[in-house]
Amino acid sequence: MEIKLIENKIIVSAESVEEKDKMSALIEKYENLIFQLQFNNGSIEFVNLGKKEDACNTSINVTYSNDNEEIRKVSNLAYTPFLMDDIEYNSVEAFWQSLKYKDSERTDVRKLHGKEAKKSGNRVKYTKFIRYQQQKIRVGSQEHWDLMYKACENKFTQNEDAQSALLNTGIRPLYHKPRKDSVVIPGSIMAGMWMNIRSKLRREKNMESKHLNFLK
């Protein structure tokens, strides 16, 4: 086995058939994983930090059109039934869009998810205020955003699939960049809510990022 250091690379070359076979097996098993080089008791160790996206904390765009089914579950449009103030909603988007409607017109909207839930909001335009639980709330205000946070928190604490999907993002940064961003609640605010809820859940479950424990 020959080892060379060239610029920012460590090049390991196999010199025998046996070494080539071992190298092929290593590549097949560990390709696309991130390793850190560590010195331990006179030996060099390559410590597995995990998948590239996790070890490098690459960001995730949370949208309902994401190719990853688990990421779609984090999206507000996902079918993730939950209760909020004793009322059932099939998605966070259904809750959010229902706020545009009068109380007497909200029942059907609450049952929606996916694009249908999103489209339901196009049928009614925002006025300056919405009403929830007899409270008059200005559209786009902190109080309005607090309702979104509450809905997301209920979703991720009650729905196991949604919670698992959120926690499986580890500590990777989340962002929300749809084709057209919301004026009422920008994507940066939305992503911040998901990450705050994720942090809270991780603390409650005493979760750690294992790859960070290996770093020296």
Assess if residue 47 is contained within a domain: yes
Q: Are residues 79 and 106 located together in one domain of the fold?
A: yes
Residue with tokens 């990853």: 68
Assess if residue 213 is contained within a domain: no
From CA 90, how far away is CA 155, in angstroms rounded? 10
- pLDDT at res. 174: 98
Q: Are residues 158 and 76 located together in one domain of the fold?
A: yes
- pLDDT at res. 88: 98
Would you give the end-to-end CA distance of the chain in angstroms?
Answer: 26
- pLDDT at res. 5: 86
Q: Are residues 16 and 78 located together in one domain of the fold?
A: no
The pTM assigned to this predicted structure is 0.80
Domain of 161, CATH number, reads 1.10.357.40
Q: Which residues pair with 2 in a beta bridge?
A: 13
Residue-number span of the structural domain to which 14 is assigned: 2-51
Assess if residue 196 is contained within a domain: yes
- pLDDT at res. 216: 53
179 CB neighbour count, 10 Å cutoff? 6
- pLDDT at res. 120: 96
- pLDDT at res. 164: 98
Assess if residue 214 is contained within a domain: no
- pLDDT at res. 37: 81
- Work out how many domains the chain is built from and give that number: 2
Which stretches of the chain drop beneath a pLDDT of 50? none
Question: 120-152 pLDDT, tens per residue?
Answer: 999 999 999 999 999 999 999 999 999 999 999
- pLDDT at res. 210: 62
DSSP string, 2-13: EEEEETTEEEEE
Q: Are residues 113 and 14 located together in one domain of the fold?
A: no
Assess if residue 211 is contained within a domain: no
Q: Are residues 36 and 69 located together in one domain of the fold?
A: no
From CA 6, how far away is CA 11, in angstroms rounded? 7
Assess if residue 67 is contained within a domain: yes
From CA 163, how far away is CA 73, in angstroms rounded? 9
Assess if residue 127 is contained within a domain: yes
Q: Are residues 76 and 43 located together in one domain of the fold?
A: no
From CA 206, how far away is CA 200, in angstroms rounded? 10
- pLDDT at res. 214: 54
Q: Are residues 129 and 190 located together in one domain of the fold?
A: yes
Q: Are residues 70 and 31 located together in one domain of the fold?
A: no
Q: Are residues 37 and 115 located together in one domain of the fold?
A: no
- pLDDT at res. 123: 92
Q: Are residues 22 and 100 located together in one domain of the fold?
A: no
Q: Are residues 182 and 131 located together in one domain of the fold?
A: yes
Q: Are residues 6 and 59 located together in one domain of the fold?
A: no
Using the 3D structure, point to which of 51, 68, 86 is the last residue of a domain: 51
Assess if residue 188 is contained within a domain: yes
Amino acid present at 152? C
